[in-house]
Structure 1
Amino acid sequence: MKIDQILNNIYPLPDTSKSTIKECISEISYPKGYFLLRANKIETSIYFIKKGIVRAYANSADNEITFWFGKEGDAVISMKSYVANQKGYEDIKLLEDCELYELKIQNLQKLFEKDINIANWGRRFAEQELIKTEERLISRQFRTAKERYKELLKNNSDLIQRVQLGHIASYLGITQVSLSRIRAEIK
């Protein structure tokens, strides 16, 4: 996905503002298995996925709990680092070779001070990320595992082909055995 489309999906910018923000963005790539963000570290960049898929998870006492998948067009960010300049709680690992756009948070904050359009873009970005987090929380609290799986199929069916079932089960908050049972029921 091209950076212009990603930026516009967040909040349409005038051409001059878009050019200004794009000057601060660089393209990078990393191989499958690379840790893009690490827990207990203040992250200094926001990434946008041009190509590939990533998984966000946190470690519990005995396993990893997946709480988010990102794919083409999605932002990869530690909100705790972005908003409060504090250490994040999540690890974000690449599940495929990825091409990414990187934007340094410090550079973006300087642009907020200089350009109201970019400041509004940043506000919309944070608002959208908050809504996504809220929707995941509500889904996990009020929907059954079967309903969450059906929702995943409806909204992100490509994840089923691209992500290990163990990660999908963790994301849904169930065991792999339960996921297999749900998948058999749906077929």
Structure 2
Amino acid sequence: MKQEYIAPKNWEIFRPYFKKIDVSAKTILLQEGEISRTMYFIEKGCLRTWINNDGKEITTQFFFEGESVSSIESFRTNKTSLYSIESIEQCTLQTLSQKDFQQIIESNPEMKNDFEAHLFKRLFQTQQFAFSYLKNNPQQRYEELITQFPHIVQRVPQHYIASYLGITSVSLSRIRNRQ
């Protein structure tokens, strides 16, 4: 869900290191099982993370303008990514290499502290979603999602939202029709 990895005001420190790319919808930026070597800052567009479960894609998070994404565990440890990163729509992204990120973090204690704070926030958000998944029924999860992120239904295809909620597109249609 919504992640505040590095606040846009802090992006300036990265400016000399950014490489701008434009990608079309449905572009795989990182494949599950590869090592993440790039962090993506979203200028325009929407990305999702997803896992492959026996050939079935399960969406795990969505990211929009002003947010950043990488397989942070892989990016920081050089271990393979547990998930893929894909564009949902046409995107303009600023990319930052693993090497440049490491250099900035190591030379700037404030950025290092911001990054650590981000990791704790991400852990907390992941826990919230996991507990919601265990505790709430699909209708409650959908209501929680649109309350927190009302723009999601205009930007994200229904089958990705259904996958994220752990239900079928048909079940999501039924839930939406009850609203």
Query: How many residues align structurally?
Result: 176
Judging changes above 3 Å, is the alpha-carbon distance between structure 1 residues 81 and 184 closer, same or farther for their aligned structure 2 residues? same
Runs ≥4 residues deviating over 6 A: none
**For residues 158 and 22 of structure 2, what CA distance do their matches in structure 1 show?**
25
Partner of residue 37, structure 1: 30
Q: Which segments of 5 or more consecutive residues in structure 2 lack a partner in the other structure?
A: none
Corresponding residue SS for 2:48: strand
> Bigger radius of gyration, 1 or 2?
1
2:69 maps to 1:69 = no
Equivalent pairs: percent with the same residue? 31
TM-score normalised to structure 1 length: 0.85
The aligned counterpart of 2:72 is 79
Q: Does the aligned pair in 2 maintain the 1:6–1:73 contact within 8 Å?
A: no
With over 3 angstroms needed to count, the CA separation of the structure-2 counterparts of 1:6 and 1:125, relative to structure 1, is closer
Distance 2:42 2:150 in 1: 18
Contact 1:21 1:118 (C-alpha < 8 Å) held by counterparts = no
Kept after mapping to 1: 8 A contact 2:5/2:115 = no
Give 1:19 deviation, angstroms.
Answer: 4.5
Q: Please give the secondary structure, in 2, of the residue aligned with 1:23.
A: helix
Cα deviation, 1:34-70, whole Å, max 9, x if unaligned, reads 1111111001111111110112111111411111111
Q: Which residue of structure 2 lines up, in the alignment, with residue 8 of structure 1?
A: 7
CA distance in 1, matches of 2:79, 2:5: 26
Q: Distance in 1 between matches of 2:34 and 2:130?
A: 24
Which structure 1 segments of 5+ residues have no match? none
Partner of 1:145: 138
Residue 130 (structure 1) aligned to one of 123, 136, 148: 123
Matched, 1:117 2:110: yes
Please list the CA deviations of residues 107-146 of structure 1 after superposition, one character each: whole Å capped at 9, or x if unmatched. 1212222221121122123222222222221221111111
Cα 1:150–1:19 shift into 2, 3 Å? closer
Cα RMSD of the aligned pairs, angstroms, is 2.0
Deviates more, 1:131-140 or 1:88-97: 131-140
Write the distance in 1 (CA, Å) between the matches of 2:113 and 2:22: 28
SS of 2:19's equivalent?
strand
Return the letter of the residue paired with 1:157.
P
Q: Distance in 2 between matches of 1:131 and 1:24?
A: 29
Matched, 1:91 2:84: yes
* Whole-Å separation in 2 of the counterparts to 1:36 and 1:163: 18
Taking structure 2 as the reference length, the TM-score comes to 0.89
